[in-house]
């Protein structure tokens, strides 16, 4: 990750179809909720064929069309979640994890509430991954 730089570069965004399918395919992934968000996460698998250097954490945001018909509202929610993650990504520094934030409600919320919920989820992910690595 970038030292002290609060950017969300492309390498930190989850865009690999293989990783997304593995994340939602079940098995190793776990999920937890802090309404109006759910996060699905798992440690990144190691691919023998991939020589890419991946950052310690990768994320994606999904806002289903069933909750917001207008793209403007979906984009606003995605922007709020990405911004909250970007500002607090140092919580997961050193934690190899891939995660997907999924929106669960049909209402818009203020950025402060979304930021609070994203931080809550990230802290819980850190606790769970720390506990699983120590075993």
Helix and strand numbers (H, E) in the chain are 3, 4
* Domains parsed from the chain with CATH numbers: 10-129 (3.30.230.10)
Q: What is the pTM of this model?
A: 0.87
Compute the distance between CA of residue 23 and CA of residue 135 in angstroms, rounded to an integer.
Answer: 22
pLDDT tens track for 43-90: 887 644 454 555 678 999 999 999 999 999 999 999 999 999 999 999
Indicate the Cα dihedral angle 44, 24, 35, 81, nearest 10°.
Answer: 60
pLDDT tens track for 84-130: 999 999 999 888 899 999 999 999 999 999 999 999 999 999 998 88
């Amino acid at each position: 990750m970038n030292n002290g730089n609060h950017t969300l570069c492309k390498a930190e965004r989850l865009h690999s179809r293989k990783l997304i399918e593995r994340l939602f395919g079940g098995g190793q992934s776990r999920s937890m909720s802090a309404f109006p968000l759910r996060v699905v996460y798992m440690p990144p698998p190691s691919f023998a064929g991939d020589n890419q250097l991946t950052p310690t954490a990768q994320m994606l945001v999904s806002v289903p069309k069933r909750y917001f018909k207008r793209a403007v509202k979906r984009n606003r929610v995605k922007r709020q979640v990405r911004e909250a993650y970007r500002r607090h990504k140092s919580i997961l520094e050193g934690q190899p994890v891939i995660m997907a934030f999924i929106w669960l409600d049909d209402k818009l919320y203020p950025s402060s509430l979304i930021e609070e919920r994203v931080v809550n989820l990230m802290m819980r992910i850190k606790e769970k991954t720390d506990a699983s690595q120590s075993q």
